[in-house]
Chains A and B, each alone.
Chain A
Amino acid sequence: MQSHGIPRVAATTLDKSEQARNKERKQIIQYQALERDVVDRVKAKDYSDTTFQLTSQLLTQNPEYYTIWNYRRLVLQHVSARELAADEEPSEQDAAAANKAGLPPAQHEVLLLIKEDLQFLIPLLKQYPKCYWIWNHRSWLLGTATKHLPAHSAVTLWQAELGLVSKMLGLDSRNFHGWGYRREVVLAIERLSSNGDGEKGSGSGNMVESEYAYTTKMIQSNLSNFSAWHYRSQLIPRLLSSRSADTNARQEFLNAEFELITRALYTDPYDQSLWFYHQYLMATLNPANAQALPVLEPCGRVEHARYLEREIGSVREMLEGAEDCKYIYQALLEYSGRYLEVEAEGGEVALGEMRGWLRELRGIDPLREGRWRDLERKMGL
């Protein structure tokens, strides 16, 4: 099974010679012993460093075993609590290092623990970039840092995370774990940098412009990136409010976005992710659509009708040279339907033309006949 072109090797393709089976038997026995050891220790509340090392061994072999990640966190919690509650004097070395980092010794210890664990995760993450539990543990470590450490320390860690996630997205730009994690990181950095003023508008921590630019970069290196287009759509409302965009600025912005997506659609109308973004832009004009925040202000019936007219015309032109592209017909039907709801007497589309599109659609995609019949009925064609 391939994911985004990166092949995964199924366990069953391994060599099954007698030698290999013996080796595998030994490995299984070792693994089971290791597992039993860890479980017993945690049951006995043994949160020593030995237990910790054993969880490392076990997780390196099987990072999907989420219970062991939980146990690891129990150990880490126990150790950090102990450090933070400590009354004893730190060693000279530790005190000096903590001083250099600008932290009290106890917190510095916790920071070191967290950093070490983050390091431990990196090779695992590279090998298993889609393992929920690895991303989750990373998230937990950063959360612990935020809880126990002053903002300036925590934010440094979060910024390193931004670098890591950019690298991971460079390796696989369609890994949704990466995109989700990126949003979490950006949120954390903004919170920690907003100096408690709560104003997301002009705070020094406002990253919405740079994140918007990041989506532009990712799209330019690979048009078929659902995640990048989706992220872009999520950023737009905040972007515009952060720019304090007035009516004109908003109109210019929306027109520029339409120009971008139209250019992409002319390059490749067969790419579904592009159509999703076009639909999103259209949805922002629809006051009945609660999920897409409006971009234009005001956004009344007049604007909605105008854009529908314009886009239907534009998409209609896309047909030339791409008569076999079903997405074009689907878009035309969807927008025409909406147009007739908004402007019942509008002259942009005629029912006859719509019937023609539906006919084409049926011809191109006969397997979905049921769906097209449904559409026909719903639209009254």
Chain B
Amino acid sequence: MDSLDNTSWDVVITGTGLPQSLLALSLSRSGKQILHIDRNDYYGGDEAALSLSEAEQWVKKHGGDASENADSAYSHATISHSEAQEEGAKKLGFSRAYSLALTPHLIYARSNLLPAVVSSRTHSQLEFQAVGSWFTVTAPPDGSSSQSRLTRVPSGREDVFRDDSLDLRAKRSLMKFLRFVASYDEESEQQRMKQLKSLPLSVALKQHFGLSSATAVAPLLALALPTVSEAETTMEFAVPRIACHLRSIGMFGPGFSAVLPKWGGLAEIAQVACRACAVGGGVYVLGQGVKNATHAEDTGDSKLRLELTGGEKVLAEWLVGCPRDMPSTISTHNMSRAASAEYMTKSISIVSSPLTSLFPPTAEGGVIPAGAVVWVESASSSSRSVRILVHSSESGECPASQCVLYASLRGDPSYLDIAVQHLLESLAERPKPEVLWRMQYRHHAEAEQPRNTTTSENVVTLQPLSTDIVLEDDVLTSAEQAWRKIMGDGAAEFMKFESREGVDEDE
């Protein structure tokens, strides 16, 4: 294709992660000249999904410590394979049979992303699977020979009714708490919520709802999925999270509250979004980032002069991207790693068994889910727990007869692998499922910085995804804010499109 040198654009978007791709989608019918670039040679940016060989390359690139990866969200990446490769032993499939998500997220049915996917007419290109059951794993005390125990989390009234581990009192109290959570933001409960909000969840449950047994508290913690320890998990954090789960159950079908996009999670949504923008005239170039950006005083208008990593010089009215993709000359992004001590340690493990016991049907005659959530309890209330998202081969991320475990833990990684082993033990499968291949890395949060303040009016910063595993509504609202700024008075309705002529849709 012709060189980009000396071209002029309405909008230059840097990075093809989810926030940037959603913006590209929102602009896909605007008629604006859009150049969408990514410094990697793959789509998806920080949310990319990788084949095995792509993962190996990625790990090489991000293997160093934080200072060597100053402009990346990731560092400390390592890979390990299992030893046994004898005949007949479970083996890895070929590289392209895998599509491993760097940041798998839970997309609750109530999320604002899903209606936008529908109204922007991209839903027909995406396949969503159910994330069905939630579990807790309780590890045996040190030195004990007993096994880790897997328990299913009750997710509604009928589950509570059937749960034999809860006595009558506990059932009553748990229902009472769930009823409170379901209406926590309504006027009738606002006073109460105000009183309770800074209490740790476990304390509030004991003192105000009569729930102190571990069998009742652990499932509620699992539904809240905190990154901090039990003692630090407040009502203020936990109640809205549990409410989101309760309010999402049954929205798309009985027995599940969240979905996952097939074939690689958020990366799939990003790709579909970019495709829509390309159909609308957007130009896509991989392997290029923005090296430098200055104001062009001589053109009279307030355009930006951008220099790409390949040396090309382009003009743009708007430059949009996430902080790490922005050149330092124009963004206030703090490059110092010291400022961002927060990181999540994450691992991706490919397991030699389909772990079918984690994927029971969502309801009588309901769908078979492709995702499950496991909360591995920590040793004490002052240490952190591990969250594991389990994806079956139905998610398109691995071959049949295997599954993928995505584990995350804030800070120190030593418990991460132990937690995965506890989960595999607790399933009581014989032969015990093995981890065939494992990758580990650190995911750094954005350093705290004021939103959208830049040295130029024409530079818009999008909020990147958090290191958490729940997709926040903020991601879409950040894209909407950027869209509004760029569209100005010409703005119609955000993400609301008619279906294109000639494009078949299964309604």
Decide: A267 near B171, CB < 8 A? Known: A220-B162, A321-B210: yes
- What 1/0 mask marks residues of chain B from 119 to 149 whose CB sits below 8 Å from any chain A CB? 0000000000000000000000000000000
> A266 on the interface (CB 8 Å rule)?
yes
Give the residues from 155 to 205 in chain A that come closer than 8 angstroms, CB to CB, to chain B.
170
> A112 on the interface (CB 8 Å rule)?
no
Decide: A223 near B172, CB < 8 A? Known: A170-B364, A217-B364: no
How far, in angstroms, from A170 to B161 measured CA to CA in the complex?
20
CB-defined contacts of A268 to chain B, threshold 8 Å: 157, 161, 175
Decide: A223 near B161, CB < 8 A? Known: A262-B168, A263-B168, A268-B175: yes
Decide: A222 near B210, CB < 8 A? Known: A170-B364, A217-B364: no
CB-defined contacts of A264 to chain B, threshold 8 Å: 161
> A299 on the interface (CB 8 Å rule)?
no
How far, in angstroms, from A263 to B173 measured CA to CA in the complex?
13
- Distance (whole angstroms) from the CB of A221 to the closest CB of chain B: 5
Chain A contact-residue range equals: 10 to 19
Chain A CB within 10 A, most for which of B158, B169, B173, B365: B158
- Distance (whole angstroms) from the CB of B316 to the closest CB of chain A: 45
Main DSSP-derived SS at the A contact region? helix
CB-defined contacts of B365 to chain A, threshold 8 Å: 170
> A364 on the interface (CB 8 Å rule)?
no
Tell which of A170, A222, A266 touches B171, judged by Cβ atoms closer than 8 Å: A266
How far, in angstroms, from A53 to B210 measured CA to CA in the complex?
66
- Distance (whole angstroms) from the CB of A214 to the closest CB of chain B: 11
How far, in angstroms, from A240 to B161 measured CA to CA in the complex?
26
Is there an interface contact between A223 and B168, defined as CB atoms closer than 8 Å?
no
> B432 on the interface (CB 8 Å rule)?
no
> A322 on the interface (CB 8 Å rule)?
yes
Number of interface residues of B (CB under 8 A): 17
How far, in angstroms, from A267 to B363 measured CA to CA in the complex?
19
Main DSSP-derived SS at the B contact region? helix
A224's nearest neighbour on chain B, judged by CB, is B157
Is there an interface contact between A266 and B157, defined as CB atoms closer than 8 Å?
no
> B485 on the interface (CB 8 Å rule)?
no
Is there an interface contact between B172 and A321, defined as CB atoms closer than 8 Å?
yes
CB-defined contacts of A220 to chain B, threshold 8 Å: 158, 161-162
> B176 on the interface (CB 8 Å rule)?
yes
- Distance (whole angstroms) from the CB of B176 to the closest CB of chain A: 6
Tell which of B157, B176, B363 touches A223, judged by Cβ atoms closer than 8 Å: B157
How far, in angstroms, from A267 to B161 measured CA to CA in the complex?
6
- Distance (whole angstroms) from the CB of A133 to the closest CB of chain B: 28
> B160 on the interface (CB 8 Å rule)?
yes
Is there an interface contact between B363 and A321, defined as CB atoms closer than 8 Å?
no
Give the residues from 249 to 293 in chain A that come closer than 8 angstroms, CB to CB, to chain B.
262-264, 266-269
A173's nearest neighbour on chain B, judged by CB, is B364
CB-defined contacts of A262 to chain B, threshold 8 Å: 168
CB-defined contacts of A263 to chain B, threshold 8 Å: 161, 168, 171
How far, in angstroms, from A286 to B207 measured CA to CA in the complex?
43
- Distance (whole angstroms) from the CB of B109 to the closest CB of chain A: 16
Give the residues from 150 to 183 in chain B that come closer than 8 angstroms, CB to CB, to chain A.
157-158, 160-162, 168-169, 171-173, 175-176
How far, in angstroms, from A367 to B108 measured CA to CA in the complex?
40
A-B contact sample (9 more), CB < 8 A, given A220-B161, A263-B168: A170-B365, A221-B363, A263-B171, A266-B171, A266-B172, A267-B157, A267-B160, A267-B175, A321-B173
29 contacts between A and B (CB under 8 A): A170-B365, A217-B364, A220-B161, A220-B162, A221-B254, A221-B364, A222-B158, A223-B157, A223-B158, A262-B168, A263-B168, A263-B171, A264-B161, A266-B168, A266-B169, A266-B171, A266-B172, A267-B160, A267-B161, A267-B171, A267-B172, A267-B175, A268-B157, A268-B161, A268-B175, A321-B172, A321-B210, A322-B172, A322-B176
